[in-house]
């Protein structure tokens, strides 16, 4: 039943009056009753994860979590697409080092808005690292590559800014973020976190990928509070105004 909701329904809170597949129906416990028309006894059968797709087709939605522990430089973000919400990873890796070679190469079929977000993220990350570790010359002397899988899917929008900054700082500090974390939020050059859209869809996508902790902009608190309780259940949600708050949530944990 849980797999049916996760893989075939975009909305996890079904509307009142909807027909819901229960565990009793899934195990076939109600299939031996005699039909009124023929008097025949229906054949008993079992539906489980191994044969679910035989009855209702291939999954429409699938969990996109590919790491048990996100490696250094990788952070999970949340996106809003025409199909609803989805999770996506921001990956940053080191290319080469040399005095004054600091720079950022961007791939992943990103639109103009998202490319600008990456440039802003690089600037903000450099400023934060300079404030926290003045002796750290990583950004000044390192050529980096930032990528957003899947490369064949066009992507755009400003809400990945905070995820990009966190990915860059993870690489610079050589520290992974906590494994059950996802985030979304537009960031200004001064580190302010701005509102985003698709809170409901992004929350459902996070739950589908077994995320336990979500970071949203403070400006979206009301949007989250208005969600159905079963959508919010089991989540630890933090609302932030400044990137500094995200830094503490992402890196201020014990291994």
Catalytic residue among 170, 202, 207, 209: 202
Degrees, nearest 5: CA angle 223-66-230: 30
- What is 171-226 written as a DSSP string? HHHT-PPPTTEEE--EE-TT-BEE--S-HHHHHHHHHHTT--EEEEEGGGHHHHHT
Catalytic residue among 159, 167, 170, 209: 159
Q: What is the CA radius of gyration of the chain?
A: 22
- Is 159 annotated in the active site? yes
Give the N- to C-terminal CA distance of the chain in Å, as an integer. 34
CA distance linking residue 227 with residue 222, whole number of Å? 9
Give catalytic residue positions: 159, 202
């Amino acid at each position: 039943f849980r797999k049916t909701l996760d893989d075939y329904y975009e909305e996890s809170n079904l509307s009142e009056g909807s027909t819901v597949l229960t565990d009793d129906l899934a195990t076939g416990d109600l299939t031996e009753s005699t039909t009124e028309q023929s008097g025949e006894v229906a054949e008993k059968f079992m539906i489980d994860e191994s044969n679910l797709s035989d009855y209702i087709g291939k999954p429409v939605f699938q969990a996109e979590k590919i790491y048990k522990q996100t490696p250094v430089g990788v952070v999970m973000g949340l996106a809003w697409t025409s199909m609803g919400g989805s999770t996506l990873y921001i990956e940053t890796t080191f290319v080469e080092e040399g005095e004054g070679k600091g720079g950022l190469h961007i791939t992943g079929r990103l639109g103009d808005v998202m490319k600008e977000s990456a440039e802003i993220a690089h600037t903000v990350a450099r400023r934060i690292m300079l404030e926290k570790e003045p002796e750290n010359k990583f950004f000044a002397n390192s050529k980096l590559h930032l990528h957003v899988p899947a490369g064949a899917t066009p992507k755009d929008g400003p809400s990945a800014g905070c995820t990009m900054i966190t990915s860059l700082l993870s690489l610079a500090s050589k520290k992974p973020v906590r494994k059950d974390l996802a985030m979304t939020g537009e960031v200004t050059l001064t580190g302010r976190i701005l509102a985003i859209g698709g809170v409901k869809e992004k929350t459902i996508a996070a739950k589908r990928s077994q995320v336990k902790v979500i970071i949203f902009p403070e400006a979206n608190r009301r949007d989250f509070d208005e969600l159905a309780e079963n959508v919010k259940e089991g989540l630890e949600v933090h609302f932030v105004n400044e990137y500094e708050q995200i830094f503490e949530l992402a890196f201020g944990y014990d291994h």
